[in-house]
Amino acid sequence: MTTETTTAKTTAAASGTWTLGDLKVNRIGFGAMRLPQNGAALQAAAASGDRDRAIAVLRRAVELGVNHIDTAAFYFSPLRSANELINSALGGPYPDDLVIATKVGPARDASGEWTAHAGPGQLRGQVEENLRQLGRDHLDVVNLRVLGTHSVAERFGVLAELREAGLIRHLGVSNVTPEQLAEAQAIAPVVCVQNMYGIGVRPEYDAFVRSCGEQGIAFVPFYAIAAAGRENGAAGSESEELLTVARAHGASPAQVRLAWTLHRGPHVLAIPGTGNPDHLADNVAAGALSLTDEDLALLEGLHHKAAE
């Protein structure tokens, strides 16, 4: 693979597919968190052109075969929200094969300050807010975002009731332990787990990732590229192991990180986010990057060494 030639012609279909319940998606998707903001800093005085660029990136993502977009009502800046951008770019009507996954649980007030996680009585309002912002009569996938190791039964039960009412098609969980996943599954089917994971990030979750695949549940890592940089993005110099693999394939370190993620199993999806159209094309092209056994062995060592 050479980045210049392959990126130009690669679509998300090259990454393969997975089915979320009854919804087939390409394994390379798109995360919308970064669209209304720049890293962790909310942009109070963002240029008006940023909105046009964000809309262009979303439309280009769909053109490149992306049909799985991850978002949330709490992804917003003082001027715009991820859901509003998605609605403006892709709604009226949305593509038939587009799957939009959102999250509920965390809450921010109008000023952007984080408040306490939503209790059971507030979750319906969060679901309805996502429906309103996205301009839809139901949500394809709703993930319950969890904070801590407490029971998820009561809050997940509320979402299960909304699923029965037709407001939600499928349910997932985010930032959970295996025990919390099992608790949720006892209440209603779970189609995906969305946890932080990547090279050198939470290798103790390797068995959990495999277990999800054995149960037919998608594992959807966030911060697969940024790793410890989280919402601020990738930072610092890359390891020699990662650079060696990248050079061998004419790829970028970010593409190798995404490819490694996809190689963890056919049930593992990727949702890299960007507001840059060039980075978008590179991310999609990573779905076609085939790592050798030698590459994977080298990266496996890095995965465990980086977390020591």
**Catalytic center residues:** 75
Please state the φ and ψ torsions of residue 184, each to the nearest 5 degrees: -65, -40
Which stretches of 120-252 are DSSP H helices? 120-134, 153-164, 178-185, 206-214, 240-249
Q: What's the CA angle centered on 99, arms 84 and 18, to 5 degrees?
A: 150
Residue type, 153: A
Which stretches of 64-119 are DSSP H helices? 82-90
Cα–Cα distance for residue pair 184/151, rounded to 1 Å: 9
CA 155 vs. chain centroid, Å, equals 22
Whether the CB-CB separation of 285 and 3 falls below 8 Å is answered with yes
**What DSSP element (H or E) covers 100?**
strand 99-104
Query: Could you give the count of Cα atoms lying within 13 Å of 269 in the half-sphere of its Cβ?
Result: 31
3-class DSSP assignment, residue 145: strand
Tokens of 166: 């037709």
Residues in the chain: 308
